[in-house]
Structure 1
Amino acid sequence: MAVSALLRTTGVTVAPGGAGRCHVLIRNNSAVVDQFAFTVRGGTAAWTQVKPAKVNLMPNQEVSVELTFSPQRSAEVLAGDHPFALQVSSREDPHGSVVQEGVVTVERFTEVTAEVVPVTSTGRRLGKHTLAVDNLGNHEHPVEVTVADPDARLTFRVRPHAPRLRPGSATFVRVKAKPRKYFWKGPERSLPFVVKVLVPEQEPVEVEAALEQLPLVPRRFFWLFSILLALLILVAVFVMTLLRQQPVSIAGPAPSTSASAPPSSSAGAPPSSSAAPSSPGSATAAAVPPAVVNGGGSTRTPAPGGAAVVNSTFTVSAAAAPGVAGVQLFSYVVPEGTRQRLLSVRLTGPATDSGRVEVRHGNTVLAVYNLADLQGQGQLLNPEQSPLLASGDTVSLAVECTNATEPCTPQAVASTALVP
């Protein structure tokens, strides 16, 4: 063999960013002058330098070749053993090349950085952050992530809590910040906290962050609520104005003048018949109690036998005061000297009344109605057996008014037939 090589040190230890050296003794064993070239093989070739790269040797002459290993301080060159080989090639004897092998041990170094995104989160009940932890070192190792709140106003949830970092990679950790107390309204509150990454063989990495806590009720809610409330008030005022403009009569119709006139003036009878004490027309002119407004009238219809049946009406109007316990009585008194047969009673009233009303003949209750049912056409009472109203009898409205402020004003118009 034309050449021989001897690696004086087979193992070299070097720190990242530093340099390590070893020497190889080269000897020309041929009888001629030869040129030798040196080439480093393996993963260390990128950061290994050979001096000299070529050499000319006389027969039996020796030379020492220096190998310098300079791994960069980065995650590209991992910590641990890296084998290498030095190939010595002869120009005169290409097939007589030799190879010397060795191992370079790269020491470990640790470098971790961290960043929080976003730095300031916004929320009412929860703030979400992402912690990016970068391992810039040359070996894999675990870290521990903790969160510190100097004011103790937040609770935290960290996932994962203790990740393992691979060299040259970024690991993402989810951090959720939750306020201990909430508030309904007011300005936003800034709640700062610190995220710490505990790294072996290195000082802890601290990153500041904050939660901008919002009130539970948004500001625009109060604006919308105020606008809605104002609209409801306007609608209520408008409706009340319309209701107040509706005419509500609390007095019955005025008494008909025909009720006090002699029946002879309307029927064309002789003058002597108007003085009869039993005339129905004179009976309707009797006085009624002040609390009741009564009006009545009478008409004569011919009967088959030549006699006349006299029909009459009277009105009972009520004005029951609100807030009075029990019933309030409003009556019509049958005039002296007359008898009447009660045929029907129609009750009406405004829609705003609430409560109940009873139609009574003396102490006998003929019917009971709710005041709210008397609006419009009202209620028509047709007794199955028409009661006889003698002189001095009363037909009454017993009203129980549950209105808030306004009086209850039901009205009854009764139709009767005069009995001779």
Structure 2
Amino acid sequence: MTVRNDSDIVEAYTFEVLGECAPWTEVEPARLSLYPGTSEQVTVVLRPPRSPAVRAGEKPLGVRVLPTERPESVVVSETIVLVEPFAEQRAELVPERRRAWRRARYHVAVHNDGNTPVAVTLSAPETDDQLTFALPVRPEHVAPGDRTEIDFRVRVAKIVWFGKPVTWPLRLDATAAAGEESGRHPLEGELIQLPVFPRWLLAVLAVLLALVLAWFALVRPAVQSAAREAADDRTQEIAQAAGQESQAAQPEQSGGGGESPQQGRQEQGGAATGQGVGQQSSATIEVRTNAGDQGAGTYVVPEGKVFRITDLVLGNHQGDEGVLTIEFGGRTITTIALETYRNQDYHWVTPVDVPAGESVTATVNCARPGTPASGRQAPNCFQVLNVSGGLTDAPN
């Protein structure tokens, strides 16, 4: 740039750069002194940084010339500066390695470090027959200094059910086009396809199967055998205890050990046991009840006796419906629905004692008479109970 002093005095001039180019533009020398009527050239030095902050294209440039002695004579020289474009991009695959059963998501991170916009497209030049890439169709535009992520998906054709993980190599190209120039960035990664059922799960299943087989083949028979032995031992203990109790309950007899005479009522029967424990006796109770009514039947223990009950048999041959309640000496033994049985029996290892004057009572609430084998509905409910045990003398 040429500076001329058209004044009539010696003048010193300084320079000031104006516009977008000011941060990276200098004037050399920074100060210039001229005699009247003389001129001299100064150099305007442009140093634009290689950065996306300085966009490519035309930039206005102005230089203000400031006289020291006569500042009112300031002059501004203007021009246009053309900043040339440069392309510089970085592309990376994120993540480089991913584990999945069949499908996986990736993205390509693109950094535009140039000073001109670029359009980025993805392509898979070497696609494996077993891999399918779902790539975006339209290019992604990236401004200077910006960063963007382009998502895509990868799918494996077949599922791996068992075995080891399979590693599939991935190869992509990210092409960045800036005007007529373009840059290709090759990308590489991996997809590790995991089996649906891992190897350790197969080992666990094999161990569980072995344990099940061992249970059925070895442990279960041993447990059943031990249970049977324990049940047999318990049965023997109960039998021995019952025999000792019977011997302790025998009345003392003088003479040759003759049998005690039979005692009983019309509803009793049985034979002498021959062991001095009284008389084996049984009583039958029959209860007839109309539908919707309640009926009861009793057996009263004779004076001076104790009825030691060991067995109870219930009969509902008509299939009546209702509720049966059984009491021994005022104690409720059981309450049972008639429709749940036709024949039912109860047995006690330890006899249930009913003292003299107390009764065995069967109370029937008849809901609906049943139909016996004849095929015609009975007129009323009919229940039969047989209670048996030992009839012994009451203690003095």
What range describes the TM-score normalised by the shorter chain of this pair?
Answer: 0.5 to 0.7
Which amino acid is the alignment partner of residue 194 of structure 1? R
- Check if 1:242 corresponds to 2:223: yes
Question: 1:89–1:244: structure 2 CA closer, same or farther, 3 Å change rule?
Answer: same
2:208 to 228, 233, 236: 228
Which amino acid is the alignment partner of residue 232 of structure 1? V
Matches within 5 A, 1:268-347: none
Which amino acid is the alignment partner of residue 44 of structure 1? C
Question: Separation in 2 of the partners of 1:193 and 1:68?
Answer: 49
- Check if 1:154 corresponds to 2:131: yes
Question: Separation in 1 of the partners of 2:114 and 2:67?
Answer: 41
How far has the Cα of 1:159 moved from its partner?
A: 5.4
1:60 to 11, 23, 37: 37
How far has the Cα of 1:85 moved from its partner?
A: 0.9
- Check if 1:38 corresponds to 2:19: no
Question: 1:239–1:88: structure 2 CA closer, same or farther, 3 Å change rule?
Answer: same
Matches within 5 A, 1:21-420: 24-158=1-135, 162-200=139-177, 201-236=181-216, 237-245=218-226, 246=228
Q: Is there any run of 5+ residues in structure 2 with no aligned partner, and where? A: 233-257, 273-312, 316-340, 349-371, 373-387, 389-396
Question: Separation in 2 of the partners of 1:46 and 1:90?
Answer: 23
How far has the Cα of 1:49 moved from its partner?
A: 3.0
Question: Separation in 2 of the partners of 1:33 and 1:203?
Answer: 57
Structure 2 counterpart SS, 1:74: coil
Is contact 1:302–1:309 with CA below 8 Å preserved after alignment? no
How far has the Cα of 1:301 moved from its partner?
A: 5.8
Is contact 2:100–2:193 with CA below 8 Å preserved after alignment? yes
Structure 2 counterpart SS, 1:203: strand
Greater shift in the superposed pair: 31-40 or 50-59: 50-59
Deviations 1:299-358 (A, max 9, x none): x967779xx9779xxxxxxxxxxxxxxxxxxxxxxxxxxxxxxxx899xxxxxxxxxxxx
Deviations 1:256-297 (A, max 9, x none): xxxxxxxxxxxx99xxxxxxxxxxxxxxxxxxxxxxxxxxxx
Q: Is there any run of 5+ residues in structure 1 with no aligned partner, and where? A: 1-23, 250-267, 270-299, 312-343, 347-368, 378-384, 386-414, 416-420
Structure 2 counterpart SS, 1:241: helix
Deviations 1:102-128 (A, max 9, x none): 221212222222111221212222233
How far has the Cα of 1:230 moved from its partner?
A: 3.6
Which amino acid is the alignment partner of residue 45 of structure 1? A
Question: 1:130–1:154: structure 2 CA closer, same or farther, 3 Å change rule?
Answer: same
How far has the Cα of 1:137 moved from its partner?
A: 1.4
Is contact 2:57–2:83 with CA below 8 Å preserved after alignment? yes
Which amino acid is the alignment partner of residue 35 of structure 1? A
Question: Separation in 1 of the partners of 2:92 and 2:34?
Answer: 58
Deviations 1:73-118 (A, max 9, x none): 3212101121111010111112321111222121222222211122
Is contact 2:164–2:198 with CA below 8 Å preserved after alignment? no
Deviations 1:185-215 (A, max 9, x none): 2222111121211222123211111111111
Question: Separation in 2 of the partners of 1:310 and 1:40?
Answer: 140
Is contact 1:84–1:103 with CA below 8 Å preserved after alignment? yes
Question: Separation in 2 of the partners of 1:195 and 1:132?
Answer: 13
- TM-score scaled to structure 2, two decimals? 0.55
Greater shift in the superposed pair: 52-61 or 219-228: 219-228
Which amino acid is the alignment partner of residue 176 of structure 2? V
Structure 2 counterpart SS, 1:72: coil
Is contact 1:160–1:174 with CA below 8 Å preserved after alignment? no
Is contact 2:160–2:193 with CA below 8 Å preserved after alignment? no
Which amino acid is the alignment partner of residue 241 of structure 1? A
Is contact 1:111–1:137 with CA below 8 Å preserved after alignment? yes
Question: Separation in 2 of the partners of 1:150 and 1:32?
Answer: 80
Question: Separation in 1 of the partners of 2:29 and 2:141?
Answer: 44
Is contact 1:146–1:161 with CA below 8 Å preserved after alignment? no
Question: 1:304–1:140: structure 2 CA closer, same or farther, 3 Å change rule?
Answer: closer
Question: 1:220–1:309: structure 2 CA closer, same or farther, 3 Å change rule?
Answer: closer
RMSD of aligned alpha carbons: 3.9
2:383 counterpart residue number: none
Is contact 2:163–2:198 with CA below 8 Å preserved after alignment? no
Question: Separation in 2 of the partners of 1:196 and 1:52?
Answer: 51
Is contact 1:108–1:138 with CA below 8 Å preserved after alignment? yes
Question: 1:230–1:33: structure 2 CA closer, same or farther, 3 Å change rule?
Answer: same
